[in-house]
Amino acid sequence: MDTESSDTTGNGLVKEEKIVKGEDTEEPMSLVDDVSTEYFASYEDLNVHRLMLQDTARTNAYQTAISDATALFKDKIVMDVGAGTGILSLFCAKAGAKKVYAVEASGLAKTLPEVFSKNGFADVVTVIHSRVEDIESLPSNDKNTVDIIVSEWMGFYLLHESMLESVLYARDKFLISGGLMFPNSAQIYAAPCQIPDLWKNHGDFWTSQSHYGFDLSPFGNIAKNLQTPVIETIASDGLLSDPQLLFDLNLQTVPSNSLEVFKDRRFFTMDQTGDMHAVCLWFTCTFPVVPGKEPVELSTAPWSEETHWKQTLIMLPDKLDFEEGDITGWEISLEKASLDKGSRSYRIHYQCLGDDDEHPVPCECGAVKCEIIKHYMTQSNEANNVDVDE
Amino acid sequence: MDTESSDTTGNGLVKEEKIVKGEDTEEPMSLVDDVSTEYFASYEDLNVHRLMLQDTARTNAYQTAISDATALFKDKIVMDVGAGTGILSLFCAKAGAKKVYAVEASGLAKTLPEVFSKNGFADVVTVIHSRVEDIESLPSNDKNTVDIIVSEWMGFYLLHESMLESVLYARDKFLISGGLMFPNSAQIYAAPCQIPDLWKNHGDFWTSQSHYGFDLSPFGNIAKNLQTPVIETIASDGLLSDPQLLFDLNLQTVPSNSLEVFKDRRFFTMDQTGDMHAVCLWFTCTFPVVPGKEPVELSTAPWSEETHWKQTLIMLPDKLDFEEGDITGWEISLEKASLDKGSRSYRIHYQCLGDDDEHPVPCECGAVKCEIIKHYMTQSNEANNVDVDE
């Protein structure tokens, strides 16, 4: 057997096709546990950052959002949380920022000054080799504030081991009132989906065939009931219903202590007949809109340009077969794994809702009853608004 | 950025294409550090084992070696070190073993009794949920010995985070004198190789182009000098020379304390003109040969059926261009990472040897001088042997 446990926990091995980001790189929360890796850049770090730079949908979105916003960046003080190779700091410097603090906890920070110098921004960008949580005061900054925070903090399905908490910490500590976040909002979407090829590798792998002449089906029951998210690119036509918006985070205002639990209860109307194998999750991010420019969205939807985030699939224990027009529902919760304080991974729990379960109010499932309720709620809201206006 | 640090350190995420094996599965040495994961089988465990079962070159080799050897297994007591899904234990039981101890440290052990029962071997196979190092006495075994040890312990380039130490521990503690190891030998081979596509993702990625209009070349020097092995499948025609055998381990006899350092110094004659980008490493394993049966070899060479081990590449800091007939040499050392006691990863150090460096004696490079020395050494050995015989 191979026993590679990770590319990024110091075991010193790289599999070319992977993109992984380790606890010793830009996950400052865990650096205290592994001081030995704090002070050098590993091949793994570099490999991850190569793959991130090669993710053009990701990097182009930031480049466009920032370079379109020179009016916002001109002469401003910016903080780049988790600067990595410094590419976002460079975008900000080029967009006219007066000062950029490139905050980077990993050993990559040691190389960053040379990068900024080579690109003519040695005077603009100041590298801070630290977790953002450990910064007491910003160099040459009496007010200890910044005007803009940029960060590429997103994890799989947005939240998985993301740097969001660190970014919100930086916002609450350093961002001036009225300051800007790049990105300034993030959304998680979902739809039921059909993924026959991946399904074959799920519980069915263990139960539907013999293995070298033997019955290994007992592992199938375990595999089916572990609701571990799977990261894979799926085709748009695998979606069995119109997607719905699950969570919409306003990054300017979302409280940093509101990330412990996300709960969702909703219903979908199937717009094709098929087997539902999984819930497909993805996210989008948007950036402050500059007058006269197109809004920039970084989308990881199945129909968007592929990114290294791909999509996230929560596999069902057993597939559910639906006819077009059927309604299905779920309760999904994402709870921060609590065993490990400082953990930034979530446990996902999925539960199927059936005909007897009550729909939320309002409900986007499209069923007649839910549409009628929505209609009256809209009317009522409008009436209330009229009252207020008068 | 995505911040997936690992599939197997409890962050609960699976990327479909990966094969990883975690510290909480069959790497008992580290279980003491993470007791919480000891008692359940994770999706990651199962995913890894699915991919191992799908590695038919690997599993077929064991199946053939064991089923061809019923004469050796009949009525014998066998230990399967790191039983995983139990497939090797099943092979042994079917081959006629009187008793199989399936030793498994991970939570998979809890499901194994049901697997053996379902396949009619509940009475033959005894599951021991433990690190092999923690087993004091074998159940119902007065002599506390076994006749045969089977294990699939191999890591990338054979040694990377392998279970070899655990297997040798089991051998020294439990195997009777004259007992058998399956496999009973393992070899590491190497050849200089040319891999232009992978080379583009190495240091050259950082230095040979601008990135979104910026110069990130300072990272190139770091990338070039981190001699981190890369796991990738390469084509046979990428080899620039005949491979040579670096290390040959007799698993029946190799001392368990001899795994700390492996050093190799050798020269190769290039049999084609090209750029040497890396040293390509791979391994083979062989099994006890049964009279009348073909020897079974599990080969991970570039020309063999692909396995999940692929090949391992040690990238050079800078490529070296050679003409056909040129001779190149190296000193390679694999040293067990010492920072972390109990670590089973190695640090690989490569150093290029040139025209002025002395060749070893004997030397397989094929140069005239080395061939002459080999010729005389062979003659001398034969003469000595004649003396002895007389």
- Tell me what pLDDT residue A162 has: 87
Residue A11 has what pLDDT?
Answer: 46
In single-letter form, the type of residue at position B179 comes to: G
- Distance of alpha carbon B186 from alpha carbon B295, whole angstroms: 14
B152 an active-site residue? yes
d(CA B300, CA B315): 19
Q: How far is B184 from chain A (nearest CA, A)?
A: 16
Q: Tokens 């025209």, residue?
A: B355
Average per-residue pLDDT for chain B: 87
Flag whether residue A176 sits within 8 Å of chain B, measured between CB atoms.
no
- Strands (DSSP E) contained in chain A are 14-15, 77-81, 99-104, 125-129, 146-150, 175-182, 185-193, 229-232, 244-250, 261-269, 274-286, 297-299, 311-322, 327-336, 346-353
List B residues 104-143 in contact with A (Cβ-Cβ < 8 A).
108, 111, 114-115, 118-119
Average pLDDT over residues B119-136: 97
| Minimum CA–CA partner of B12 in chain A | A228
Contact B216, B129 (CB under 8 A): no
Residues of A in contact with B18 (CB under 8 A): 15, 18
Residue A386's pLDDT is 61
Question: Smallest Cβ distance to A16: which of B36, B232, B308?
Answer: B232
Specify whether the backbone of B35 is left (phi greater than 0), alpha (psi in -120 to 50) or beta. alpha
How sure is the predictor about B59, in pLDDT bands with cuts at 50, 70 and 90? Answer: very high
Q: What secondary structure does DSSP assign to B86-142, as a single string?
A: SHHHHHHHHTT-SEEEEEE-SGGGGTHHHHHHHTT-TTTEEEEES-GGG--S-TT-T
Q: Which helix (H) or strand (E) holds A64?
A: helix A56-67
Helix ranges, chain B (H)? 43-54, 56-67, 70-73, 87-94, 112-118, 164-174, 196-199, 203-207, 218-225, 368-389
Tokens linked to B8: 């197997």
Q: Which of A13, A156, A205 is facing B228, going by the closest CB pair?
A: A13
- Listed as ranges, residues in chain A with pLDDT below 70 are 1-44, 338-343, 386-390
Residues 250-309 of A with CB under 8 A from B: 308-309
Per-residue pLDDT of B222-265, as tens digits, reads: 888 877 789 999 999 999 999 999 999 999 999 999 998 999 99
Contact yes or no for A133/A158 (Cβ under 8 A): no
Nearest chain B CA: its distance from A389 CA (Å): 45
Whether the CB of A333 is below 8 Å from some CB of chain B: the reply is no
Candidates B23, B27, B44, B152; catalytic one: B152
Percent of chain B with pLDDT over 90: 67
Q: Among B317, B351, B346, B314, which residue's Cα sits nearest to residue B223?
A: B317
Give ipTM to 2 decimals: 0.86
How far is A95 from A98, CA to CA, in rounded Å?
9
- Window from A117-126, B38-47, B101-110 with minimum mean pLDDT: B38-47
pLDDT(B175) > 70 = yes
pTM for the full predicted model: 0.85
B195-209 residue pLDDT tens? 999 998 888 899 988
Interface with chain A: mutation pick from B3, B166, B225, highest number of A CBs within 10 Å: B3
Is residue A260 annotated as a catalytic residue, yes or no? no
Question: What is residue B2's predicted lDDT score, i.e. its pLDDT?
Answer: 53
B332-378 residue pLDDT tens: 999 887 655 556 778 888 888 987 888 998 898 888 888 889 888 88
Residues 6 or more apart in contact with residue A384 via CB below 8 angstroms? none
